[in-house]
Amino acid sequence: MTSSADSARCYRDLRSFGRRKGRKLGAAQQGLLDELLPKLRLDPAEAGSAGEAGEGCQDVQALARLFNRDLPPSSSRQKPQPVWLEIGFGGGEHLVWQASNNPHVNFIGCEPFVDGVVKVLRAVESRKLSNIRLYDDDARALLRRLPAASIDRGFLLFPDPWPKKRQQKRRLVSTATLDLLGRVMTPGAELRIATDIADYARAILLAVMTHPEFEWLVTGPDDWRKRPADWPQTRYEQKARRAGRRCSYFSFRRR
C-alpha cells in the first residue's frame, strides 16, 4: 500500500497510462490475482522509507530480502543480486524473457493494467520463476520509495505515446521521471527506452541528452535502429511493425 503522502503526490502526477481493466477475468485469472499477486506484490513502504525530500532509504539489502531469495553470509557487506526494473511491462513478454534468461537477477515489474499483470502471474506460476516481484500501480510512487542506487538496469519499452498534442504532457518519459530514475539507478547502470512514435523518440532524446545524470550510448545508426539480441520483441512492437511504424531502441547510461 502507498502512504497518504505518496497518494497525494501521485494525484498531482498526470496519469501516464490508459485503462486499468479490460474484459472480465475468468475464474482462474481472478484466482491468480487473489492468491499469487499478494505474494509477489511490492509494498513501497517496505521497499524503502521516504524522507521529507522524497528520497528513499539506503538499505539496498532490505530491498533484496523482499525477493525471499538466499543471501550469502555477511550479506550486509556484500553486493546483493542485481535488481532490474521494467516500467509498463504490458503483456509481460520482455519481463518474463529477461527473468527466465537471467535467473541471477531480481526483477521488479510495474504495470497498472490488470490483464498484463495476470499474464505475468501465469508465467511465474507455470515457469516457477522466483525472481519477479510486481507493482500494479503508478511506477512513480515506487520510484520515490526505492533505495538510492538500488537499480542496476531499467526498461521503459513502448510507453503510452499519448499522440495528440494536448495529451503529450502525460508522456511518462520526462525530466521529472528521469530525476526519479537517476536517483535509484546505480552509476553505470543502463536505461533502455523504446518507442515507435517519431516525435516521442525526439522528445526522449531531448529529455535524456539534456539531463545531467544520463548519457546516450551510441556510435552509429544501428545502435537505435536495430534491437539487440538480448532485447526480445514485445507484442506492442509486433503491432507497430505490422502497422508500418519504425521502432527506435535507445540505450542510455547513468553517469
Strands ordered across the beta sheet of 132-135: 132-135, 106-110, 83-87, 151-157, 185-195, 248-254, 214-216
Across residues 62-81, what is the average pLDDT? 65
Instruction: Flag whether 39 is in a domain.
Output: no
In a domain, 41, yes or no: no
161-180: average pLDDT? 87
pLDDT of residue 67: 86
Query: Is residue 46 included in any domain, yes or no?
Result: no
Whether 160 sits among the annotated catalytic residues: the reply is: yes
- Quick one: average pLDDT of 180-208? 97
16 occurs within a structural domain: no
For residues 10-27, give the mean pLDDT.
65
Alpha carbon distance 102, 149 (integer Å): 20
Residue 234 lies in a domain: yes
Mean pLDDT of 71-90: 74
Assess if residue 27 is contained within a domain: no
Which residue did the predictor score with more confidence, 31 or 164?
Answer: 31
Q: Is the pLDDT of residue 193 over 90?
A: yes
CA 233, 239, 245: angle at the middle one, nearest 5? 95
CA neighbor of 141 nearest in space, from 180, 169, 89: 180
The pTM (predicted TM-score) of the whole model is 0.86
pLDDT of amino acid 8: 42
- Cα angle 2-163-177, degrees, rounded to a multiple of 5: 35
SS3 at position 216: strand
The whole-number pLDDT of residue 255 equals: 97
Residue that has been written with the C-alpha cell 518507442 in this structure = 195
Tell me if 8 is assigned to some domain: no
Per-residue pLDDT at 166:
72
pLDDT score of 59:
72
Domain annotation covers residue 32: no
Please give the average per-residue pLDDT across 150-170, as a whole number.
Answer: 88
Which three three-digit cell numbers place residue 227? 534491437
Per cent of the chain over pLDDT 70 is: 83
Structurally, how many domains does the chain consist of?
A: 1
Determine which one of 6, 137, 152, 160 is catalytic.
160
Read off the CATH number of the domain in which 107 is found: 3.40.50.150
pLDDT at residue 167, rounded to an integer:
63
- Residue 218's domain comprises 57-254
Q: Which long-range contacts (CB under 8 A, 24 or more apart) does 72-80 make?
A: 80/106
- Contact 124/40 with Cβ under 8 angstroms? yes
pLDDT tens digits for range 82-113: 999 999 999 999 999 999 999 999 999 999 99
- The burial class, CB within 10 Å (0-12 / 13-18 / 19+), for 156 is buried
150/47 Cα distance (integer angstroms): 10
pLDDT of residue 50: 42
